[in-house]
């Protein structure tokens, strides 16, 4: 008798919980004790009626369109096959109780809109059939073998979350009632059951997660089960509440759960579920707090556009997918779209500070193209010509755009001999050029304005760092220092009056060494908030270290070795995020990852 009630409660507790069952078998055990004692006290019943009448159902709830909800709620409820999400479960005092897990498994029928959601709550296993429809996510209780057949059919499909969401503050209710179709109290007459589920969309709130904070959709869910005994009309049951916080493209990142019976007795201690790890499509949260969006995107270079909150990646002539194009990558979702072909073998990139123009080195035709953002339409091209001694084509070894004039850009020219640096202002004005030192494949960056330029010689053992003055007639060297940055530098950056190069900070005016963050670093860039600089060493093991440049202390680290992939370069990105180019040392394939981490905030 008790087992029937408790099997039914499995269905009850799933409703409107997105398959994250409240308590699982532990809740069943608590109810078993409570209901057994209650029925023992009242003595059960008699009678001789044996009914198998199919239970009737009722359902109610507003179906109005959302008000003020900016996105479709299905973005907040992904159910991709293979998804695994782990949670830490704590009590109200913050004490660790154990682990929770959700795993999405393909439906044996192969139906594309049906999946099995396997949930483990402190070691107790449960499975729910989930159905994805255009108007929401449903739990299909009609196939639950733990219920009487006619009762499970009467409960049927119940919508856990509506697409789109209801208006903020609006109450959505759904109810089911009918015959339980089995005798619970011993009088041979089936009991009556009633389920009422209530859901309120509270709006969007900031929630702390291992990699920082996310904006989560907050839902208050309440489930109430009532079982009316046929012998004396008494009512037994319980209710459970859940505060659910759903993050876009992830799902539940935090859950606050409470369950008690009708007499006010807790069925088990209150729980808080907090996300700790997941593999969700191309998103991975590792056990060190780094959340990665993994993109199999062969590329040459990447740059971030803070105006439009997106990255641009150049896809070369040898790219297996969309060669000779620019990929635009949404910083928040990782969604990729491609431009039309823009020229032969696009490589180096630079974005104007106002987000209006993207400069692209076209290595196949020794040119730089200026493109309009966001449609990547071409504005003009500049051709460099060939090496006068060797006939080799001259290409853009590095690009930089003035921080105050979107039409002024600099190119470190690269060929088989000495090429120099050229500063352009439009397609017709003669460039300002220097060729009095070996700048082959140099790294360049502008300072605070269009008149100051910094260059590093990474192609000879001189390893010189230079400050240049951009004049109307050319480029003049103001000062030069020898460094130990070495051959393998991938970046140079100007930030807060200092030059960041090879793990060291140099004064922007004198180039004196101000501080050392890491020796023998191959890439260093400012990331996230002020005074934060990330560096990657030029030797294994590769890990990205984050420093506070004001205190010179390391404040975080992100693994760079992902399988057999190593960091080859990384790029400053959105708030709390960087873009990382990873190189497979065995097959040469290149991958792009967008990585969020607390240290970048």
Place of tokens 């640096």: 421
Q: Are 57 and 177 in contact (CB under 8 A)?
A: yes
CA gap 578, 557 in Å, rounded:
13
| Weakly modelled stretches of the chain, pLDDT under 50 | 1-71, 389-390
Place of tokens 């856990």: 160
pLDDT for the residue 13: 41
Hey, what are 84's tokens?
């695994």
Tens of pLDDT, residues 89-121: 999 999 999 999 999 999 988 888 999 999 998
| DSSP, res 90 | E
541-570 pLDDT per residue, tens = 678 899 998 899 999 888 765 555 678 889
- So what's the pLDDT on residue 519? 86
Global pTM value:
0.84
Sign, CA torsion 295/297/303/307: negative
Cα-to-chain-centroid distance, residue 229:
50
pLDDT of residue 413: 86
**Per-residue 3-state assignment (H helix, E strand, C coil) for 402-426:** CCCCCCEEEEEEECCCCCCEEEEEC
DSSP string, 121-187: ETTEEEEEEEEEETTEEEEEGGG-TTS-HHHHHHH-EEEEEESSPPPTT-EEEEEEEEE-SS-SSSS
Closest-CA residue to 580 (of 552, 554, 541, 542): 542
Distance of CA 289 to the CA centre of its chain: 12
Residue 454 CA to residue 511 CA, distance in Å, equals 10
Three-class SS state of 10: helix
Distances (CA, A) of 552 to 25, 161, 233, 508, 517: 52, 48, 73, 18, 6
Residues 6+ apart with CB under 8 A from 315: 297, 298, 299, 300, 321, 322, 323, 324, 325, 326, 327, 338, 346
| Cα distance between residue 497 and residue 67, in whole Å | 47
CB atoms within 10 A of CB 241: 17
| Among 4, 594, 53, CA closest to 336 | 594
């Amino acid at each position: 008798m008790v087992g029937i009630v408790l099997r039914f409660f499995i269905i009850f507790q799933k409703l409107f919980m997105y398959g994250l069952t409240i308590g699982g078998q532990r809740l069943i055990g608590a109810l078993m004790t409570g209901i057994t004692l209650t029925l023992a006290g009242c003595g059960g019943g008699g009678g001789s009626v044996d009914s198998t009448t199919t239970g009737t159902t009722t359902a109610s709830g507003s179906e109005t369109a959302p008000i003020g909800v900016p996105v479709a709620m299905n973005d907040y409820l992904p159910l991709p096959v293979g998804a695994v999400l782990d949670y830490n479960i704590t009590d109200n005092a913050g004490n660790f109780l154990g682990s929770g897990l959700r795993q999405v498994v393909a439906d044996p029928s192969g139906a594309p809109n049906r999946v099995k959601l396997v949930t483990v709550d402190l070691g107790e296993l449960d499975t729910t059939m989930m159905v994805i429809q255009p108007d929401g996510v449903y739990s299909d209780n009609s196939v639950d073998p733990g219920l009487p057949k006619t009762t499970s059919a009467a409960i049927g499909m119940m919508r856990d979350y509506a697409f789109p969401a209801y208006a903020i503050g609006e109450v959505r209710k759904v109810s089911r009632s009918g015959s339980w179709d089995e005798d619970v109290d011993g009088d041979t007459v089936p009991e009556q059951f009633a389920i009422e589920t209530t859901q309120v969309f509270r709006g969007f709130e900031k929630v702390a997660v291992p990699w920082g904070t996310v904006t989560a959709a907050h839902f208050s869910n309440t489930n109430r089960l009532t079982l009316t005994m046929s012998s004396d009309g008494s009512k037994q049951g319980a209710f459970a509440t859940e505060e659910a916080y759903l993050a876009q493209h992830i799902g539940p990142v935090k859950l606050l759960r409470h369950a008690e019976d009708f007499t006010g007795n807790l069925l088990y201690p209150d729980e808080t579920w907090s996300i700790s790890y997941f593999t969700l499509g191309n998103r991975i949260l590792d056990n060190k707090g780094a959340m990665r969006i993994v993109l199999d995107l062969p590329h040459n270079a990447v740059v971030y556009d803070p105006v439009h909150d997106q990255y641009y990646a150049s896809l070369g002539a040898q790219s297996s997918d969309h060669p000779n194009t620019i990929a635009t990558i949404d910083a928040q979702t990782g969604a990729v779209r491609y431009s039309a072909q823009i020229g032969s073998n696009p490589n180096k990139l630079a974005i104007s500070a106002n987000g209006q123009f993207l400069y692209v080195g076209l290595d196949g035709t020794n040119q730089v193209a200026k493109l309009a953002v966001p449609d990547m339409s071409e504005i003009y091209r500049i051709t460099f010509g060939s090496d006068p001694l060797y006939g080799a084509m001259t290409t853009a070894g590095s690009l930089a755009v003035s921080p105050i004039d979107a039409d002024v850009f600099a190119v470190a020219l690269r060929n088989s001999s000495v090429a120099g640096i050229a500063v352009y202002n439009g397609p017709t004005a003669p460039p300002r050029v220097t060729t009095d030192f070996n700048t082959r494949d140099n790294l360049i960056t502008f300072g605070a304005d269009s008149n100051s330029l910094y260059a590093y010689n990474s192609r000879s053992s001189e390893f010189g760092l230079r400050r240049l003055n951009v004049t109307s007639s050319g480029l003049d060297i103001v000062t030069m220092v020898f460094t130990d940055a070495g051959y393998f530098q991938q970046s140079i950056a100007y930030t807060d009056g200092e030059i960041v190069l090879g793990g060291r900070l140099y004064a922007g005016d004198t180039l004196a060494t101000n501080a050392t963050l890491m020796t023998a670093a191959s890439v260093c860039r400012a990331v996230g908030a002020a005074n934060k600089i990330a560096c990657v060493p030029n030797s294994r093991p590769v890990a990205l270290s984050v420093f506070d440049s004001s205190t010179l202390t390391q404040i975080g680290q992100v693994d760079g070795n992902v399988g057999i992939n190593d960091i080859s370069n990384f790029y400053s990105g959105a708030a709390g995020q960087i873009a990382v180019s990873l190189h497979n040392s065995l097959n040469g394939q290149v991958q792009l990852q967008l990585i969020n981490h607390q240290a970048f905030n």
